[in-house]
Amino acid sequence: MVVRVSRFACVLVEHFDAAAIERCEPALRERPLAVLNPRVDRPHDGASTARIMTTVEANAAAREHGVRPGMTETEARARCPMLLTRPWVEEYVASAHHALLEAALAVSPRVEDGGAGTAYIDTAGLERLIGDAAAIGRRLVHQVRAIGLIPRIGLAASRAAARMTAVNGPGAVTIIPPGRERATLAKVAITTLDLAPDVAVTLGRWGVRTLGELAALPREGLAARLGPAGLRAHDLALGLDRDPFRPWTPPPFWEEAQGLEWEIDSLGVLAGVLETVLERLCRRLTAVSLVADSLEVRLGLASGGHHARDVALAYPMSEVKPMLTLAVLDLEAHPPPAAVTRVTISAHPIRTLAGQGGLWQPPAPALRDLVTVLARLAALVGAGKLGSPVLVDSHRSDAFTMFAFSPPSDSAASIEPRNGAGASAGLRLALRRIRPARRVEVETIGERPVRVEARLVVASAGPWRASGEWWDVQAWARDEWDVVLGDGALCRIARDRLAGHWYLDGFYD
């Protein structure tokens, strides 16, 4: 019988609201930064309310100067005159948190959402794929840094122990050996635990300052005096988990947003913002080996409305430049009706499987070159006139419709010799159609053509008669002939039986 040994990792991003802003503006990471949110004060004397900007979060550089959450902007600037401030944006925090969970999901299929800036990973069994606990920690650091966040990693036998290790560990990755949870956590301050205020106050009156002191208290006494909250605190001090693991499921689409401090009415300036948002989105896709097969660009307008565009991608991708080209070309054709104040881009992610192309097919063009060519062609002829032709269910020989472009599959038939036979054994004729078909003068004897524009017909086959849609105004009827002309040309001609005209339909190669 194999006994499953539980091992967990906690990925923690400190000062997460500030880290979400730094992810959008990496240059702020080394400078003092405070995230502000307005607070409304309502005086009791009936005076008008006042909006005071308060600090929601501060990064490490600002905290070195004494800036803390809850301070007013005035107090924070008094402590740190060079302080930079940014408004709190819910979309930034949500996007960064989803990106963190997705990065963890690229390492383990079992990830739990631990709240803003925190993710728990079930690492049991990863040793066979990645290596020991240190290798797993390094892999997590690499994945999280790839999406623009700086993590601290703790690995232990429980989620609670892993989290406290991540908070108090001396380095980027800290590991508690199996069976050493209680001893390792003994000197950690009790403030590390997320305790109810009344429980924290009671333990403070008892003189309990560390997890070791809390773990040493009799469990029966804690249950009698503090109830379930006391038992939970005791479990956490021992590094035990009682709550079930709740795996996180990624959403069906991924989203990145960017708020603007000024209105944008120039497509060139807007393209720069689109590129910034797409870079963050593509980093997330690349970190977990996914690609996007469609985009939705949603622009918030100064008028209060929105301008949404669905951008079809020629091929699933995770590259910024071709996505940006397609988005800009679409907005050129369908510009927003007012100045832009907000940019949101959503992507539908899919997983692609690597595979070798056909041995008897020409090499496929580079994805970036292919998408660039398609974008330029769409700008020249219009998106509705570019795509892949697909035959429709009709007897009309040239009936087709256009769908979004997709590269040909590897299953397409290829010409190759068999059993050592010469290449001529697999030779086939291909009809090169003329579109639109060219009208020609044809002399006939009875129904059989004898001359095509004064060129003698030396051999002919036909007619192949077809008709359709006789019940509608689009009714058609035609006779097709394959003819060999005196100069050696092999071509197909067709007679429109309703109009009586002849057309040159194509040449055989």
Query: Residues 33-65: pLDDT tens digits?
Result: 999 987 655 555 555 555 678 888 999 999 999
Query: Residues 441-472: pLDDT tens digits?
Result: 988 888 888 888 888 888 888 888 888 877 77
User: Mean pLDDT lowest for which of 118-127, 181-190, 396-405?
Assistant: 396-405
**Does some domain include residue 211?**
yes
**Does some domain include residue 407?**
no
Q: Is 78 found in the same domain as 206? A: no
Query: Residues 389-447: pLDDT tens digits?
Result: 777 777 776 677 777 776 655 444 444 444 444 444 455 678 888 878 888 898 888 88
d(CA 193, CA 207): 16
Listing from the earlier edge strand, what are the strands of the sheet with 173-175?
Answer: 111-113, 118-122, 8-12, 152-156, 173-175
**Does some domain include residue 390?**
no
Q: Please provide the average confidence, as pLDDT, over all residues in the chain.
A: 83
CATH number, residue 200: 1.10.150
Query: Residues 80-122: pLDDT tens digits?
Result: 999 999 988 888 888 899 999 989 998 998 999 998 899 999 9
Q: Is 317 found in the same domain as 206? A: no
With a CB cutoff of 8 Å and minimum separation 6, the contacts of 504 are 434, 437, 438, 439, 440, 452, 491, 492, 493
**Does some domain include residue 442?**
yes
**Does some domain include residue 365?**
no
pLDDT tier, 137 (very low <50, low <70, confident <90, very high otherwise)? very high
**Does some domain include residue 403?**
no
List phi, psi (to 5°) of 80: -140, 90
The pair of three-digit structure tokens given for residue 402, joined into one six-digit string: 């256009």
Q: What is the DSSP letter of 321?
A: H
Domain that holds residue 83: 8-41+49-175
Q: Is 131 found in the same domain as 26? A: yes
**Does some domain include residue 422?**
no
pLDDT tier, 478 (very low <50, low <70, confident <90, very high otherwise)? confident
Q: Is 302 found in the same domain as 213? A: no
**Does some domain include residue 397?**
no
The pair of three-digit structure tokens given for residue 100, joined into one six-digit string: 């963190």
- DSSP strands (E only) in 286-361: 291-301, 306-317, 340-350
Mean pLDDT along residues 200-214: 86
Mean pLDDT along residues 144-151: 91
